[in-house]
Amino acid sequence: MKEEMPYKLQLTEKEIPTQWYNVRADMKEKPAPLVNPATGKAATLEELSQVFCEELAKQELDNDTAYVDIPGEILDFYKMYRPSPLVRAYCLEKKLDTPAHIFYKFEGNNTSGSHKLNSAIAQAFYAKAQGLKGVTTETGAGQWGTALSMACAYLGLECDVFMVKCSYEQKPFRREVMRTFGANVTPSPSDKTAVGRKILQEFPGTTGSLGCAISEAVESAVTREGRRYVLGSVLNQVLLHQSVIGLETKTALDKYGVKADVIIGCAGGGSNLGGLISPFVGQMLRGEANYQIIAIEPASCPSFTRGVYAYDFCDTGRICPLAKMYTLGSSFMPSAIHAGGLRFHGMSTILSELYHQHLIEARTVRQTEVFQAAEDFARCEGILPAPESSHAIKAAIDEALRCKESGESKNIVFGLTGTGYFDLVAYQKFNDHDLTDYIPSEEEIAASIAKLPKI
Ligand SMILES: *Cc1c(COP(=O)(O)O)cnc(C)c1O
């Protein structure tokens, strides 16, 4: 490693990747295809194109093309906020007194405050290119809806957002950002859709979940003219777009002569982690290098660590295609933790297959220890992290402390996916010692897994 490493492993605008990387191309065992619940067969391009934009449906199904050109208009948009910083966490290292070197890739440096903008602009671009009027989506914590509304405003598209009710209530300011960017925002479950009305009847008083909101957004997209549904995580296409994170990270590490040992990311639907690790996993799959890759999930919604690998619905309303993934069951209702973006019962099929092949591992962390890590990080690195991102911080700190015990100076790289300015109600609870941990019981998980579709 070079002697004097700067705080920021800087890249120039020219070093922003001009192609996304599709890790599926290098996987021998491909992720399982989406299945149409009506036919029981792999979903076709034609079927997917009724829900998604056609080009995105093609990307969803493409297991073979390794590199996909990033259209010029998307690249121009990327240049407004990319390359994102890869920062050496000198202050955190010092505070932990660890021989480990810690690096974080910070995706919160844009107004939407998270990595979700990387895919939002791509999805909005393809919708516009297809001549659509607008797109419909759900949002959990609000980051995806914010990112999409920014992208739609930029391209002149309409944007309808179903927002998980607990976030809608916890984060009124998020809603106002979205409205400022021109989006229509509805708390979910709502009575605007048939599936929303059904969920409200079954679970009165529910604070909602990503799964519910997805069902509503899909229904709203397919029942109206000139609309398609877009999704901020889980799907293959989203991981493809998010590969820009990993490609930049790898370019910067290579430029400064750093070989990562451990790569850590939080896992909700898997898009930031999938994007961050894709180029590194590609090397592992091609036998060129080895890394320890760790997915971090909340103890309250432990899809990898306590779920099963099976076909399941992506949404509570059971109207979306089935995906083979690590899942807690689509009827699993996660507790209202403050990392809204991690409250999803399933996981990306790509990451699920990589986990199944033992190429990545997974750990859980509890909400209270996550906020403690967030506070420690904020005080020395000067960034107020999103609660989701703080799951990765917690794990990176643990890893660095392990290095302190063993005396190893590993290079730890983690994804800092966003900022927490709209999560201050959660921070307030933490500061007032009002935060609690909720860990679902075996019975609770078993009950929802028992309801998996038989396929
Ligand atoms: C949405 C979100 C996540 C989790 O989603 P993934 O698809 O798993 O990346 C993590 N961090 C932030 C800040 C988010 O907005």
Among all chains, which residue has been given the structure tokens 């980051």? 143
User: 106 in helix, strand or coil?
Assistant: strand
CA atoms of 145 and 138, how far apart (whole Å): 7
Given this model, what pLDDT does residue 71 score? 98
Report the percentage of the chain scoring pLDDT > 70: 99
The H or E element spanning position 87 is: strand 86-88
Among all chains, which residue has been given the structure tokens 């932990």? 96
CA atoms of 262 and 320, how far apart (whole Å): 35
Rg of the chain in Å (alpha carbons): 20
pLDDT tens profile 258-295: 999 999 999 999 999 999 999 999 999 999 999 999 99
Instruction: Band the pLDDT of 90: cuts 50, 70, 90.
Output: very high
pLDDT tens profile 235-262: 999 999 999 999 999 999 999 999 999 9
Closest Cα to atom 9 of ligand 1: 272
- Are 230 and 135 in contact, with CB atoms under 8 Å apart? yes
Q: Give 13's DSSP letter.
A: G
Closest Cα to atom 1 of ligand 1: 341
Instruction: Tell me what the pLDDT averaged over the chain comes to.
Output: 95
Pocket of ligand 1, candidates 104, 106, 116, 244: which has the most ligand atoms within 8 Å of its Cβ, to mutate? 116
Given this model, what pLDDT does residue 411 score? 98
Given this model, what pLDDT does residue 344 score? 85
- CATH code for the domain defined by 19-69+114-229: 3.40.50.1100
CA atoms of 342 and 255, how far apart (whole Å): 33
CA atoms of 225 and 446, how far apart (whole Å): 40
Torsion over CA: 411, 417, 419, 422 (sign):
negative
In DSSP terms, which residues pair with 294 in a beta bridge?
264, 361
pLDDT tens profile 154-178: 999 999 999 999 888 878 899 999 9
What integer is the mean pLDDT of 165-193?
92
pLDDT tens profile 388-419: 999 999 999 999 999 999 999 999 999 999 99
Extract the runs of DSSP E, i.e. beta strands, from 371-426: 411-416
Q: Give 315's DSSP letter.
A: S
- Are 8 and 258 in contact, with CB atoms under 8 Å apart? no
What integer is the mean pLDDT of 169-197?
93
Closest Cα to atom 3 of ligand 1: 341
Residue type, 256: Y
Structure tokens at 54: 């056609």
Helix/strand number for the chain, H first, E second: 18, 14
Given this model, what pLDDT does residue 208 score? 86
- CATH code for the domain defined by 79-113+241-449: 3.40.50.1100
Nearest atom within ligand 1 for CA of residue 107? 13
Domain 19-69+114-229 and domain 79-113+241-449 have a common topology: yes
Ligand 1 centroid – CA 142 distance (Å): 10
Ligand 1 centroid – CA 272 distance (Å): 6
Nearest atom within ligand 1 for CA of residue 270? 8
Given this model, what pLDDT does residue 33 score? 97
Given this model, what pLDDT does residue 113 score? 96
- Residue 1, pLDDT > 70, answer no
Given this model, what pLDDT does residue 319 score? 77
- Residue 193, pLDDT > 90, answer yes
Instruction: Band the pLDDT of 331: cuts 50, 70, 90.
Output: confident
Closest Cα to atom 14 of ligand 1: 341
Nearest atom within ligand 1 for CA of residue 242? 9
3-state secondary structure 284-347: HHCCCCCCEEEEEEECCCCHHHHCEEEEEECCCCCCCCEEEEEECCCCCCCCCCCCHHHCCCCC
Ligand 1-lining residues (CB < 6 angstroms): 114, 116, 141, 143-144, 233, 266-273, 341-342, 386, 388-389, 417-418
User: pTM of the prediction?
Assistant: 0.96
Closest Cα to atom 5 of ligand 1: 268
Ligand 1 centroid – CA 271 distance (Å): 7
HSE on the CB side for 51, CA within 13 Å? 21
Residue type, 45: L
CA atoms of 71 and 69, how far apart (whole Å): 6
